[in-house]
Amino acid sequence: MVEVQVRDLGWRHAGRREWALRGLDLTIPSGQRVLLLGASGSGKSTLLRALAGLLAADSGDGEGEALLDGVPVARARERVGIVFQDPQTQLVLSRCGDDVAFGLENRGVPPERIWPQVARALRRVGFPYHLDHSTAALSGGEQQRLALAGALATDPGLLLLDEPTANLDPAGAALVRTALAEAVRADTTVVLVEHRIAAALPLVDRVVALGPGGGLLADGPPETVFADHGPALAAAGVWVPGHPLPRLPAAGPAGAPLLSAEKVRYRRHGADRDALPAVDAVVREGEALAVVGPNGGGKSTLALLLGGLIAPTSGVLRAAEDLAAGLDGPPHRWPATGLSARIGSVFQNPEHQFVRANVRDELALGPRLAGHPREHVDATVDDLLDRLGLAALAAANPFTLSGGQARRLSVGAALAAAPRVLVLDEPTFGQDRNTWIALVQLLAGLRDAGAAIVAVTHDDELLATLADRVMSLGGPPTGER
Ligand SMILES: Nc1ncnc2c1ncn2[C@@H]1O[C@H](COP(=O)(O)OP(=O)(O)OP(=O)(O)O)[C@@H](O)[C@H]1O
Ligand SMILES: Nc1ncnc2c1ncn2[C@@H]1O[C@H](COP(=O)(O)OP(=O)(O)OP(=O)(O)O)[C@@H](O)[C@H]1O
């Protein structure tokens, strides 16, 4: 039971000229379920952090107030459960069970009630491992399930979910929806951020959309908000139901193989099972290959192998002679500059690959290292800033970007050096409709110019729009608990 009151709320992150939120007024009655929409960078995550009392005074300028049942949020934090857009940032303890128990211990729940509640929360999200399993040994989707279990376990009065299904396989996404529909108490107030709204709409009573400038663009029941504000929402980048995506021209026939994996298998040192069981894969010129499958199935591991970033435990990965062009051995033996000029990689977690202090330098790094002339580097970077909607953020620190902005930067940085192979782990994560279209058109253009694209994805629209071939990896381990 929590009523949320937001009064004239404003927030400007330190180092930014623009306000992420400004003049926001919003009352959410106790038990209401709100779907929070808005373009990438419109302030959705900032608002969730404000409601969780997590915007520290020294990290920006604030205006107005946010109250939970009349109490300033900073004094009501124990009533809030939050799942961040990047769940890795909220897993704090080394064992999965302890991590879920942490919030209960903080709230003074008696020990005899803690472990049954932990076990129930883990079951609700379909978590496949034992309580002792290491939090450092989880795939992205497994991390997301664990973070959600941590939030559900405390039975919060206000539940804040930032794209909780974006990294989940369809079974995991369905479990989350069931948890919202059935397992969360009827009087729990919920604010849910999702870009893909079709599956979320039946779960919510109200839709609130943030607009440019940090205020409200639309607010109302799901049945009327799209009818009343459809064109304005679509123009702002919201995925409005029934607005078809532009069709891409059909791809030409695939060309010669650039990478061939034969029975590549990967097992971490000391692990008792393979992260990737032996698989064959061929990556061809002018073709977009999508890699799909359940959480923990080995997709990110395959991406790291194809990207030459780890060596297979057994099996071989061969590069075509003209791709290797003067470099010896398999890709994981190539020097870093030679590798990134030939095979560009985007990790599941974009922060893991940022190495420069601002967005412009991050985009310029690859083409500079590849020895491209300065004018060419500048022109490439300007074009990417523009196409990826990052021009206004050219001087920003990559680590301060919103989830969707960071994802676009990581894709831009990987393709700036014009590699012939691009291996992308969840390239469309966190994108609004407009930025999604820009990103997919950019990738399709590269594919049509002869590049090979490998995309690990849970995004059905990406499969339907870009994939020329689909590779499905098997299931994660089950039955450990
Ligand atoms: N720590 C930070 N420091 C500086 N600026 C920030 C910080 N966090 C977010 N911003 C900026 O504030 C704005 C709003 O970001 P926020 O993460 O709230 O957007 P969002 O709507 O959740 O976006 P997305 O859909 O891409 O995740 C963006 O322009 C972002 O770059
Ligand atoms: N750092 C790690 N240490 C140990 N095991 C790991 C690590 N990262 C992943 N794993 C395990 O390796 C297996 C494959 O993980 P991977 O990340 O490749 O799966 P995925 O198909 O990409 O999953 P998701 O869809 O959830 O991102 C999983 O069982 C996972 O738990």
Ligand 1 pocket, residue 189 CB under 6 Å: no
Which one of the ligands is nearest to 429 CA? 1
**From 11, 13, 55, 359, mutation site for ligand 1 pocket: most ligand atoms within 8 A of C-beta:** 13
269 C-alpha vs ligand 2 centroid, how far in Å? Answer: 14
- If the chain, 481 residues long, is cut into consecutive pieces of 10 residues, what is the mean pLDDT of each piece? 94 95 96 94 96 93 96 93 88 94 91 93 88 91 90 92 86 81 78 86 92 89 91 90 81 92 95 93 97 93 96 96 92 92 90 91 93 94 97 96 95 94 94 95 95 95 94 65 32
Nearest CA to ligand 2 atom 24: 295
Greatest Cα pair distance, the chain, in angstroms, is 68
Q: In this structure, what DSSP letter does residue 181 have?
A: I
Supply the residue whose CA is at minimum distance from atom 12 of ligand 1: 20
From the CA of 21, how far away is ligand 1's center (Å)?
Answer: 10
Mutate to test the pocket of ligand 2, among 91, 165, 301 (most ligand atoms within 8 A of CB): 301
Residue of 9, 17, 45 to mutate, ligand 1, most atoms within 8 A of C-beta: 45
- Give the CB-side neighbour count of residue 283, counting CA atoms within 13 A: 29
Nearest-CA residue for ligand 2 atom 14 is 298
Which residue has a Cα nearest atom 2 of ligand 1?
Answer: 400
Ligand 2 contacts CB of residue 142 (under 6 A): yes
Tell me if 430 CB under 6 Å of ligand 1. yes
Ligand 1: residue whose CA is nearest its atom 25? 40
Nearest to 140 by CA among 91, 87, 93: 87
Ligand 1 centre to CA of 224 (Å) is 28
Query: How far is ligand 2, taken at its centre, from the CA of residue 408, in Å?
Result: 23
Ligand 1 mutation target, pool 47, 401, 428, most atoms within 8 A of CB = 401
User: If you measure from the C-alpha of residue 389 to the centroid of ligand 1, how many angstroms do you get, rounded to a whole number?
Assistant: 13
Question: Which atom of ligand 2 lies at the shortest distance from residue 141's CA?
Answer: 26
C-alpha–C-alpha distance, residues 32 and 278, integer Å: 48
Query: Is the beta carbon of 301 within 6 A of some atom in ligand 2?
Result: yes
What is the spatial order of strands in the sheet that 21-28 belongs to? 21-28, 4-13, 60-68, 71-72
pLDDT of residue 481: 32
Beta bridge partners of 78: none
pLDDT score for 300: 95
Q: Give the DSSP letter of residue 389.
A: T
Q: In a 10 Å sphere around its CB, with 0-12 CB exposed, 13-18 middle and 19+ buried, how is residue 474 labelled?
A: exposed
* Spatial CA neighbour of 298 closest among 124, 436, 140, 118: 140
Half-sphere exposure in the Cβ direction for 120 (13 Å, CA):
12
219 bridge partner residues: 208
How far does residue 140's CA lie from ligand 2's centre (Å)?
Answer: 7
Altogether, the residues listed in the chain come to a count of 481
Q: Ligand 2: does its nearest atom lie under 6 Å from the Cβ of 12?
A: no
Protein residue closest via CA to atom 3 of ligand 2? 137
Sign of the CA dihedral with 298 first, then 301, 307, and 312 last = negative
DSSP-assigned letters across all residues of 207-239: EEEE-TTSSEEEEE-HHHHHHHHHHHHHHHT--
Q: Which atom of ligand 2 is closest in space to residue 473's alpha carbon?
A: 21
pLDDT at residue 223, as a whole number = 86
Q: Is the CB of 401 under 6 A from ligand 1?
A: yes
Minimum-distance ligand 2 atom for the alpha carbon of 271: 4
- Cα 91 to Cα 264: distance, rounded to the nearest angstrom: 31
Q: Give yes or no for residue 285 CB within 6 A of ligand 2.
A: no
Q: Measuring CA to CA, which residue among 219, 211, 312, 255 is closest to residue 28? A: 219
Q: Is the CB of 44 under 6 A from ligand 1?
A: yes
Nearest CA to ligand 1 atom 27: 403
Q: Report the chain's C-alpha Rg in angstroms.
A: 23
